[in-house]
């Protein structure tokens, strides 16, 4: 049982390394405007990758393009709908797997510091929703979004939740200066993440009456859900990144066009001044 306690005690840390960060889920939540999918993915990943306090220099850095990055496949028509349905189906299955294994651990295994409580593992698994929600609130204080093709109202919100990120149109982001609310929620999210890892380590390392073989099965089930949800999240972020970079390229092209027009007007006015100053008339030759 001592070996099983060591393995289980390392489980929260291992899952945190495999799991998504609050920055990734908050981008899907706020920028992608898909909070339903973001929260479902968070529920399927009972651990979150820790972040440093006050380390938010680039809140949308994960959307920026880099050289050599693998691009998501372009899907059209029924294939895209099938992928979206598969995403939600796998996310629900991953969440049910987390809930089932956590409930079984609470009933069949005893924690030596609180043997009469059976909800400790379930509490650890779904406290993660508070952490990811706090991360989304943090990003809301830093980003203003204007996306093309969105409709207002409840119907528009529901339609957005079931619209793939690749079909959302161009995504334009405006960063606003940091304020005290952003700093507080950023710090609060980082502290919650560390407390969650500590709480999970305390619960799992204190489990009694579980063998090494059973502990490996538990770890494998947790890892399967985390990996599945992480793959879905990375696919959605990749699709969102394509829309974001396309909007950035379009914006830079428009900016260059405006600069060119301003320079053309400036050169044109200077040319007229030169003509007036020298007494030359357009269309006449000077000898």
- Per cent of the chain over pLDDT 90 is 46
Distance between CA atoms of residues 137 and 189, nearest Å: 10
Q: Residue 175's beta-bridge partner residues?
A: 143
217 within 8 A of 108, measured Cβ to Cβ: no
The pLDDT confidence band at residue 245, using thresholds 50, 70 and 90, is low
Backbone angles phi, psi at 143, to 5 degrees: -130, 140
Which of 240, 29, 24 lies closest to 137, judged by CA?
Answer: 29
The H or E element that residue 106 is part of is helix 78-108
Element (H, E) at 268: helix 212-278
Quote the tokens at residue 86.
């598969």
Q: Is the pLDDT of residue 285 over 50?
A: no
Task: State the pLDDT confidence band at 281, using cuts at 50, 70 and 90.
Answer: very low
Of 280 and 236, more confident: 236
Q: Which of 172-176, 198-202, 244-248 has the highest mean pLDDT?
A: 198-202
Structure tokens at 90: 């796998």
Most confident of 56-60, 179-183, 264-268, 272-276: 179-183
Q: What angle do CA 37, 10, 118 make, to 5 degrees?
A: 70
Q: Name the helix (H) or strand (E) containing 118.
A: none
């Amino acid at each position: 049982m001592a070996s099983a306690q060591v393995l289980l005690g390392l489980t929260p840390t291992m899952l945190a390394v495999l799991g998504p960060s609050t920055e990734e889920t908050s981008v899907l939540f706020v920028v992608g405007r898909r909070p339903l999918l973001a929260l479902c993915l968070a529920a399927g990943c009972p651990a979150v990758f820790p972040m440093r306090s006050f380390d938010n220099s680039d809140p949308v850095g994960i959307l920026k393009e880099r050289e050599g990055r693998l691009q998501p496949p372009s899907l059209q028509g029924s294939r895209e709908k099938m992928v979206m349905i598969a995403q939600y189906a796998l996310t629900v299955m991953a969440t049910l797997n987390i809930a089932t294994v956590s409930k079984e651990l609470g009933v069949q295994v005893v924690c030596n510091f609180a043997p009469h409580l059976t909800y400790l593992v379930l509490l650890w698994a779904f406290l993660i929703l508070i952490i990811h929600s706090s991360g989304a609130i943090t990003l809301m204080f830093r980003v203003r979004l204007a996306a093309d093709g969105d409709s207002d109202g409840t119907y528009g919100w529901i339609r957005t939740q079931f619209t793939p990120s690749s079909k959302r149109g161009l995504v334009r982001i405006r960063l606003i200066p940091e304020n005290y609310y952003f700093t507080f929620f950023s710090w609060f999210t980082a502290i919650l993440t560390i407390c969650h890892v500590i709480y999970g380590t305390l619960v799992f390392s204190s489990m009694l009456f579980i063998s090494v073989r059973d502990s490996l099965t538990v770890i494998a089930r947790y890892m399967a859900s985390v990996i599945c949800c992480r793959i879905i999240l990375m696919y959605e972020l990749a699709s969102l990144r394509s829309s974001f970079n396309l909007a950035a390229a379009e914006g830079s092209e428009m900016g260059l066009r405006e600069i060119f027009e301003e320079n053309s007007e400036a050169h044109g006015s200077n040319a007229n001044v030169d003509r007036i100053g020298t007494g030359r008339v357009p269309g006449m030759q000077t000898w």
